[in-house]
Structure formats: C-alpha cells, structure tokens
Structure 1
C-alpha cells in the first residue's frame, strides 16, 4: 500500500478531479460523495471476518429503522480507504458517518477533514462520556472538540493451541494458559510447544510486503519497558536506545532459540497455526473467526508480562463525521447520531469477531463476560498502547511499515538489533522532518 502523500490543496486542484474519483470508486461522483437524496451514508473498511458481523448489524439497523435509507459501502482496507476518506472530506461532500482508526485521528481532525460532534445531539441519542473508557474518550478529542466515538479496541494478543499446550503442561485447571511472566518463561513455553508439534512453537509474521507484526511486537515490548516514542509535544524522537535494544534483543532470541519461525509471512503464520502445526500465534484478535472456521482447538490471552508493565499495542475503531459542506439538516444529523448509537448498543454482535466493545454497558454485561475466548483477554482494554497522535501513525501507516521493515530484519537474522534500531530511528526522523501532507 502506498503511503498517503496527497495534500489538501492537491486534492482540490490536482489531477484527481471529481470524474477521476468516480473512476477510482467504480461509481458515479454523486454516489461516491453522496448527495441530499442519498439517504444516510456510511463508509467502512471491514472486509474480513468482522465485515460479516458488520453487515448483520447493518441489516438489524435497517429492520429497526425502515424509514431511513441506509447506503453502506465497504472500501479497500488501509491507505486506499484513508486516501478516499481524505479526498471526500477535503471536498466537503463525504459520507454522513465513517469508520476510522483512532490512531489516525491526529491526521484527519486538525486538517479539517472531519466535523466535530454536537453535544446536544449526543445527549439526545444517549451517547455519554461515562459509558466509554476514559483514555479512549480523551484520545477521541482534537483540541477541546470531540471528533470520534469509540467503537472498540483491537489489541495485539496471543493465541494458543489447546491440545499442544495441554500436552506441554502449559494449561491450568480451567484449561486456560498458565500465567507466563518474564523473558525466560515465554521462550521456554515456545520451545516446549515446538517439541510437541515437531514444527513450530510460535508462528508469527516476520517478513513480507508491508510487514507490520514486528512493529506491533516491538511497540508492545518497548511500552512494557515504559519507553517513549516521541517527546510530549510529538515533535521529536524520544526513543531510549537501551530500552529499545532490550526489546529487540528479546525479539531476536524468539526466532533464534528455535521456538519461533524465523521467516514466515502473515498468511503463512495464520495457516500454520490454523492447521495445528504451531503451539502459539501472535496477531490482532480479529483472526478469531478464521481459527474458529479451521476447527483448530485454541484459546486466547493478552500478551504476557514479559518486561515491567502489563501492556500491549492496540488501536481502536471509532465512528467519525467526515467533513461536509452543510450539516444543517437537523433531522439528517440526528439519523447519523442514532445510527452510531444503535451500533454501539448492538456491539455484542461486533464482539463476536474478536473486538473488545468500547461501549461499557456492553463490555461489562454478563453476556459479554460469558463469551469465550473474548473475555479471557478483555482486561487488556485498560492497558492498550495506541500510537501517538501524529499524521504518520495508525493502522497501515508509514510508521508501522517503516518500523516493521526495520525490525523484520532483526527477527530473520539479516540485521543485528543495533542495525534494526538505527534503521527505525532514521525512518522516524525522516517522518518527523516531512511536512504533514494533510495540512
């Protein structure tokens, strides 16, 4: 996926005019941007297993609100989605509601690509600050205005094969993974699982185009060491070399100890765990549905406390209001807010795909707490580490891909931890030196 490099001015005056946008989307410009007669329009990027659940939720909304014509469009995940969202917001004729990754808010809200939420309308539809985790609600602001409504958190988690881990003596009396704490305990568990499978202890993405798992693992470990990526004003690097290298040293030990595969792309890692050839798998929790379909006996847990603190890398899906030239139609806007409120209240269905509901009346309900394996890792929602709010951060971002590439070489043995860190620091400085293309 190509990095987003189009400026707002370029969006409005460059070669990609309205006709080109229609060609990009495979539809007419009016349908792509929407018009006054298009009803309620929603854009999302849920093309995986969670997309099936979202379609069921949208069907439920349509059944409950037959008076509202809902037009829902799923666009291509990653930079293609975010580029189209930015172009539409810059033109002021975007969808009524859209999905966004919270870590991307720092690029979109300050650039005027989103509209802030109206406090009165939020109150009318029952969306209240106290119903969301405090940190997610705080991160949903830009300046003193609310620009996002948290929908979920999707953390980096640990999958484990029940049969393999049971035979290796890694499960407790409830058939759940025993508490693993510290580098040695983790490495020993991977080695023990490898001895059972005879193939792999841990199957994890270590290489491939746009490889991002190395970033997600490193940021988890680095934040467990309480390392900071940027200065408080997000203007300069604050990487602590000692902490960064401690995390990278452990990552290289994982693949050099024999317990984890050195060279494996994302599809291979999912397939290997799904067919029972690995005892463990590290990934986002969204692969839950994939492994349920394969029939592999598995459980899930939050990433263990390998270092000082019990945290994990994550992002959050949020609802936003892409910028429109005119949001004066109160009834139309109320429909948009009620649509968001409906999906929040129905987010138990969303949790079926592995995501952790941000809406606390659902997240703390008996129905959610009885869900397995979701409730086994749900406590991590209080400890997730989201990227700093910078234009180059967030899912499928330049930050992820640049650091992922640098640390991929460490996992595969093509670079030392020092070399990998130097490459990552150079990439970070280049990003900091690059003018924000959304401004």
Structure 2
C-alpha cells in the first residue's frame, strides 16, 4: 500500500551534488516553478532504493520510557548506533502520560515533529484522525523485513486506521498475575512441577487467595486501589463478560450496567467481603506488599518484573491474569512506533527511520526482558524468548487482550483511566455501592463525550 505520493525509500546523499526533497522544492519554487509542478517532477523522477549500509542521515526519536524500560531502550539505541555509524540518532525522553502526548501533538501540528516517536497504540487512532501522523508505506516496510505475517492478526489490525497502517507495534503489555512461589507451595496451590494450579472462576480464585492469606497472615492478593489499576482490573473482568464501554466510533456510551456491576461486585468482594486484599493502598504500597512476602499474589502490569527480579530474596513467578468469567480477556496496550506528520519528507531520513524501527523489532528480545511481549513474531517464536522466564509464561495473552476504547480521552495515561480509578476506588474501599461507583464513572464519561477533542 503506497500512502505517500513519493517513494519512502532513501537515496544516497552526496552533500556536494545531491539535495533533499525539501531543498528540491525550495529551489524549484525559487526558479518560478509552482509547488504542484515541482512535486509532479519530483515524483516522476522517482527515488532509487538504497542499501541499509549506505544510508547516511540524522534522525530524531521521541519516547516516554523511564525506569527499567528507559535503561533497556537506551541499550537498544546504543546498539543501533554502533551497528549503523552513518545514521546519527538523537533520542529524546519526555515525561510519561499527558505531558508527552500533548507535546507530541503540538510538535506535529506546529510542523516541528521528530522523525519517529513512540505511542501507545490506543492513542494512535485519534492522532491519525487529526492528520497528525504519516501512514507507513507497506512496500518500503517490506524492504526492511516488516510485513503483516510477522505480527499477530489482532495487533496488525489495530495498527490500522481507515485502512492505512499508522503504527508499527513493538510489544503488547498486558495485565498479569504475579505469585509468590514459597507461599503458594505452603498453601497447597502448586502442582507437582512447582507451578501454580489453574485458577478459574470467582469461587476458586477467592478460595485460593484465602488459603494464601492464611500463610501470609496479611493479604492474599495486593493491587493498587488508589490509582488507575482499578480500571485495568475492571476492564479485564468486564471484557470477560463481553461488555463494551463506548461505541466503535468513540462517541456513545454503551456500558451494560448488569455486566459492569457484576465485575465491580467481584472486585469489591476481594476488599470488603472476603477481605483478601487491602481496600486502601496505592501503587507503591501494593508492589511493596508483594515484594516483602506479605501478599501471595499481585495484580499489575508485567512491567514490574524487573523490580521483583532485583529482590534476590523473593521467589516469584508470573501467569496470565485469571479467567474469572465467561471468555478470556486481559486489559492491555502496546507501545508502537509512529511517524509524526512531516511538512516535507526527506526520503533519506525516512529510509533511515524504517531501518531503525526494523532494528528495534529484530532486537526486541532485550525489550522483552522488562516483561513486555514482543510484537515481532520472529522474536516471540524464537527459543531464546521461550526460555526467558518468567516473562514468556504469559505470551499467549497477546492474542486475547482487550484494549481501551477509542476516544480522545481514552488510552494509556488518559482521563478515562483517571475517572475510572476515582470512581472504582470508592467501591473497593467500601464507601460506594457498585451502582454508585458505576454511576459516577458513567457521568464522568458522558461529560467527556460532550466536550470537543482538544487537538
């Protein structure tokens, strides 16, 4: 699929004799040739394909990775730079969440964007709809080994907007379950091979947490209550019941009250009835409770694997978030590469960007060490990844995830997650009934739906 009127393949630049696309347009315009005619001449000439080893370009790359992710990303960037000495990579790390996405949108709208950037895939449709992104050229991607068959069908489909490919997925990062091996052994929850016995259904799961709690004397399971994690739990459970939050176009609230209250009732049971989970705890507190052995299970994103690996006294393992209701789903998102809209594309720089993305995909075993499931199937299907434990234990979840609904206020680090957390933590703390919590959340969504997109 060709999505630009020009080839995205690079041309070798001899600085003494060659010129970029932008320079060409500037010079032809100065000679009195209109921009339309200049573009036609440029497109008629075409651009020859260049071997990756011949590329010479400067590219800027924005991302939002901190902590362990940031360390691994820098490691991968350094490896790329060493193997591609003619491509100068300028990497900029910005604050996670709303500050990052605001700055990215402003840069694209203002004509001063980076050449390539990272986005959560749930954010991409809104950016694409606002014409803030360039779509990818499938023919040019194929030249660097990026083709549809290298990705799971569901994630490749989500990478499109209006039948155009706007993002290249780097990973899937799902909501998962951690467990303390020693505690679960004492509670009789492990099989003969030392792995957690399958937990499925509300009764079996709560029973397992109670048995584990008898061992810890503290908590059966720990998860953040005072933050956005309640949304991730709720959406995992609600999706298992077949529920949807917004219409496909992101303009209408379609929450099924019965299913939503069923999901919230199970969550509240954990904290206020069975009392196997602390009812008022923040993110750091939940991580610390599991890390110290005072909770047998932990519900969180897989990105905390690095934290627990570094605690040498902790023997833990990881499995997919459990199947509580009818059909398996777990809330997730993906980090992905995007092309912020360029006022004029330099084919040489664009070719270098595609080479960079390809390299990052092919070396994403390094990325997988931080817990994320590589999206590039040659990596996830390789024996090295399968031997990476406990990170590969939940790789199958990538085909069965539920991503946040599409709306300008949705996606990772969004106002939707904030409002869900604010409402649902009241239910978990026993201060709201499930109906009251759901009503507050629905009112917040209706208010957001009534507002125009800020971009």
Q: After superposition, what is the alpha-carbon deviation per residue over 1:251-297, rounded to whole angstroms, capped at 9, x for unaligned?
A: 00011212111110001111111111110111100000001112211
Aligned residues of 2:57 and 2:349 also touching (Cα < 8 A): no
Q: Distance in 1 between matches of 2:407 and 2:99?
A: 19
Q: Distance in 1 between matches of 2:74 and 2:195?
A: 32
Query: Equivalent residue for 1:389?
Result: 406
**1:382 offset after TM fit, Å?**
0.6
Pick aligned residue for 1:269 from 265, 286, 294: 286
Query: Equivalent residue for 2:309?
Result: 292
**Bigger radius of gyration among the two:** 2
Aligned residues of 1:105 and 1:389 also touching (Cα < 8 A): no
**1:389 offset after TM fit, Å?**
2.0
**1:371 offset after TM fit, Å?**
1.2
**1:331 offset after TM fit, Å?**
1.4
SS in 1 for 2:177: strand
Q: After superposition, what is the alpha-carbon deviation per residue over 1:199-252, rounded to whole angstroms, capped at 9, x for unaligned?
A: 111111011xxx110000000000000011122333211111110000000000
Q: After superposition, what is the alpha-carbon deviation per residue over 1:40-72, rounded to whole angstroms, capped at 9, x for unaligned?
A: 111111102111111111111011001111111
**1:373 offset after TM fit, Å?**
0.7
Query: Equivalent residue for 1:245?
Result: 261
**1:173 offset after TM fit, Å?**
1.8
Can you give the 5+ residue segments of structure 2 that lack an aligned partner in the other structure? Answer: 1-55
**1:170 offset after TM fit, Å?**
0.8
Pick aligned residue for 1:360 from 363, 368, 377: 377
SS in 2 for 1:109: helix
Q: After superposition, what is the alpha-carbon deviation per residue over 1:179-217, rounded to whole angstroms, capped at 9, x for unaligned?
A: 00100111111111111111111111011xxx1100000
**1:38 offset after TM fit, Å?**
8.7
Query: Equivalent residue for 2:395?
Result: 378
**1:334 offset after TM fit, Å?**
0.5
Q: Distance in 1 between matches of 2:454 and 2:130?
A: 9
**1:106 offset after TM fit, Å?**
2.1
Query: Equivalent residue for 2:185?
Result: 166
1:185 and 2:219 matched: no
Query: Equivalent residue for 1:84?
Result: 103
Q: After superposition, what is the alpha-carbon deviation per residue over 1:341-392, rounded to whole angstroms, capped at 9, x for unaligned?
A: 0000001111000000000111111111111111211111110101122211
Q: Distance in 2 between matches of 1:57 and 1:244?
A: 41
Pick aligned residue for 2:357 from 333, 340, 358: 340
Pick aligned residue for 1:130 from 149, 158, 161: 149
Query: Equivalent residue for 2:162?
Result: 143
Query: Equivalent residue for 2:121?
Result: 102
Length-normalised TM-score, structure 2: 0.86
**Aligned positions, number:** 398
1:233 and 2:252 matched: no
**1:120 offset after TM fit, Å?**
2.6
Aligned residues of 2:249 and 2:406 also touching (Cα < 8 A): no
Pick aligned residue for 1:221 from 233, 237, 261: 237
Can you give the 5+ residue segments of structure 1 that lack an aligned partner in the other structure? Answer: 1-36
Aligned residues of 2:57 and 2:348 also touching (Cα < 8 A): no
1:54 and 2:70 matched: no
Aligned residues of 1:203 and 1:280 also touching (Cα < 8 A): yes
Q: After superposition, what is the alpha-carbon deviation per residue over 1:323-352, rounded to whole angstroms, capped at 9, x for unaligned?
A: 12111x211110000000000000111100
Query: Equivalent residue for 1:322?
Result: 340
Q: After superposition, what is the alpha-carbon deviation per residue over 1:384-420, rounded to whole angstroms, capped at 9, x for unaligned?
A: 1011222111111011010111111111111110100
SS in 1 for 2:310: helix
Aligned residues of 2:57 and 2:352 also touching (Cα < 8 A): no
1:307 and 2:325 matched: yes
1:119 and 2:138 matched: yes
SS in 1 for 2:354: helix
Pick aligned residue for 1:398 from 403, 407, 415: 415
Query: Equivalent residue for 1:254?
Result: 270
Query: Equivalent residue for 1:33?
Result: none
Q: After superposition, what is the alpha-carbon deviation per residue over 1:78-99, rounded to whole angstroms, capped at 9, x for unaligned?
A: 1111111111111121111100
Query: Equivalent residue for 2:28?
Result: none
Aligned residues of 1:230 and 1:238 also touching (Cα < 8 A): yes
